[in-house]
Amino acid sequence: ATFGTLSDRLTQTFSALRTKGKLSPADVDKTVREIRRALLDADVALPVVKDFTSTVRERALGDEVNKALNPAQQVVQIVNEELVAILGGEQRRLEFAKNPPTVIMLAGLQGAGKTTLAGKLAKWLKAQGHTPLLVAADLQRPNAVTQLQVVGEQAGAAVFAPEPGNGIGDPVRVAKDAVQFARTRLHDVVIVDTAGRLGVDAELMKQASNIRKAVDPDEVLFVIDAMIGQDAVATAQAFQEGVDFTGVVLSKLDGDARGGAALSVASVTGRPIMFASTGEGLDDFEPFHPDRMASRILDLGDILSLIEQAQKAFDQDEAQKVAEKFATDTFTLEDFLAQMQQLKKMGSIKGMLGMLPGARGMREQLDNFDESEITRTEAIIQSMTPAERRMPKLLNGSRRLRIARGSGTTVTEVNALVNRFEQAAKMMKTVAKGGVPNVPGMGPI
Ligand code: GDP
């Protein structure tokens, strides 16, 4: 994933330090050199690397490390703080207009992910009770309007587009009309998707700048593909000059990019990274938290994001009901199935485990984790009759054989599932009654 190599190299550098008590100036120099090389190899822009390493070096040679109980840990802490700083420091939220509609304009190169982002933003805003309107002001690309209509539909948001067949429309006019339309129809947020080109060009910038002048947006978000590497800085600077964006959205953070764009753009332009896009689906999107990203890069874990994902997937009422079922011994395989499906909503289990501190060290276990096991377990339960799901005691030999055949698994797998279910139910019953279960094989976290 993005930052993978950078993260590996930084954690290696730090684990070499761990065995040392005091750090000599030579140790610090060596560490800083390694950090410098790792950042450059990750495509972070040279001026950013220079600033970063000189600050880290200065701090690492100072008293805070010298006097620290654990100097190596202190260096990691310093690197963490400085990473947070170059990623923009504090999280910056969207600013809404005092008089709606709030106008958000999207700018960036073609293929950066603007149209997809428009859909993601709309869905995210809708979930918070807003009534977004998507505006197709990209009249350059033949398919752009249709594409926006498709994402609009997926997001359940209205789309404002010029009538087809009117020749090539005027995007400035469309954007202006859209804001007017939003005002009368009570859309409180307007998201204007603009045209991009494959490279920065004067005409594109002029058009974007004209749209900006015409609709006076509350936010101008510059969308940048994390995979563009070394070009990131020049592109960002061109857009900063051209449209003076207020925030950055990093897209395609799910790819194998080296991450340099992410680490350069905020500090070079002085504009905060506000959102991260992590896939093609409308839910693959999150507000950007510099501190959490830094923790992920340094393998310090991202517990907060993990908890948020879990909260998104599990609703409280449901959790309460399940707890009651455990306490009263009425938890069935049917409930178990429902739980598993909820778990799947949280995204890949591997992705979740990857957010735990030290996850990089468990690389091998993570790679061996078999997501298809969930699918097989689901298949087994789905091959049972409703009565069997409610009363696993019914499951005699011939029934188990039938289920194994029906689900394309083996009797051994069916047996293992039933055993696991019974153990889990017993354990959860203890928990639900306020006891502490004895979980075999689980050390302190
Ligand atoms: P636009 O030209 O800036 O409007 O870019 P699009 O929204 O059309 O996106 C270009 C391509 O990138 C499409 O195939 C999208 O599905 C894909 N895409 C957009 N965002 C992401 C992302 O975060 N991750 C991945 N993997 N693909 C993305």
Q: Is the dihedral of CA 297, 302, 305, 309 positive or negative?
A: positive
Cβ-based neighbours of 177, under 8 Å, separated by 6 or more? 160
Predicted pLDDT of residue 100 = 92
The CATH architecture annotation of domain 307-432 reads: Orthogonal Bundle (1.10)
CA distance 87 to 85: 5
List the chain residues with pLDDT less than 70.
1-2, 164-168, 257, 302-317, 319, 343-371, 427-445
Ligand 1 pocket, mutate which of 227, 251, 275, 278 (most atoms under 8 A from CB): 251
Looking at this protein, which amino acid is placed at residue 39?
Answer: L
Which among 286, 288, 292 has a CA at the least distance from the CA of 83?
Answer: 292
Q: Is 240 annotated as a binding residue?
A: no
Ligand 1 pocket, mutate which of 114, 116, 149 (most atoms under 8 A from CB): 116
The CA-atom distances, in angstroms, between 32 and each of 26, 60, 86, 89, 315 are: 10, 9, 16, 21, 46
Atom of ligand 1 nearest to the CA of 117: 7
Query: Do you find a cis peptide bond into 101, omega within 30 degrees of 0?
Result: yes
Buried b (16+ CB within 10 A) or exposed e, 2-33: bbbebbebbbebbeebeeeeebeeebbeebbe
The CATH architecture annotation of domain 102-300 reads: 3-Layer(aba) Sandwich (3.40)
Q: What is the ipTM of this complex?
A: 0.98
Which among 346, 343, 330, 419 has a CA at the least distance from the CA of 380?
Answer: 419
SS3 222: strand
* Angle separating helix axes 411-432 and 316-327, nearest 10 degrees: 90
Which residue owns the Cα nearest ligand 1 atom 6? 113
SS3 101: coil
Predicted pLDDT of residue 435 = 52
Q: Is 252 annotated as a binding residue?
A: yes
Q: How far does the centroid of ligand 1 lie from the alpha carbon of residue 247, in Å?
A: 18
Looking at this protein, which amino acid is placed at residue 250?
Answer: L
Predicted pLDDT of residue 117 = 97
Predicted pLDDT of residue 424 = 72
Q: Is 112 annotated as a binding residue?
A: yes
Q: How far does the centroid of ligand 1 lie from the alpha carbon of residue 300, in Å?
A: 29
Q: Is 194 annotated as a binding residue?
A: yes
Ligand 1 pocket, mutate which of 280, 284, 285, 286 (most atoms under 8 A from CB): 280
Q: Is 197 annotated as a binding residue?
A: yes
Q: Is 110 annotated as a binding residue?
A: yes
CA dihedral 90, 194, 212, 174 (to 10 degrees): -140
Cβ-based neighbours of 445, under 8 Å, separated by 6 or more? none
Give me the residue label for tokens 């954690």. Answer: 11
Q: How far does the centroid of ligand 1 lie from the alpha carbon of residue 428, in Å?
A: 43
4-86: CATH superfamily = SRP54, nucleotide-binding domain (1.20.120.140)
Query: Parallel, antiparallel, or unpaired for β 285-287 and 273-277?
Result: antiparallel
Find the residues whose C-beta lies inside 6 A of ligand 1: 108, 110-116, 196, 251-252, 254-255, 277-280, 284
Q: Where are the domains of the chain?
A: 4-86, 102-300, 307-432
pTM confidence score: 0.73
Atom of ligand 1 nearest to the CA of 251: 23
Report the phi/psi class of residue 106: left, alpha or beta, with left for phi > 0 and alpha for psi in -120 to 50.
beta
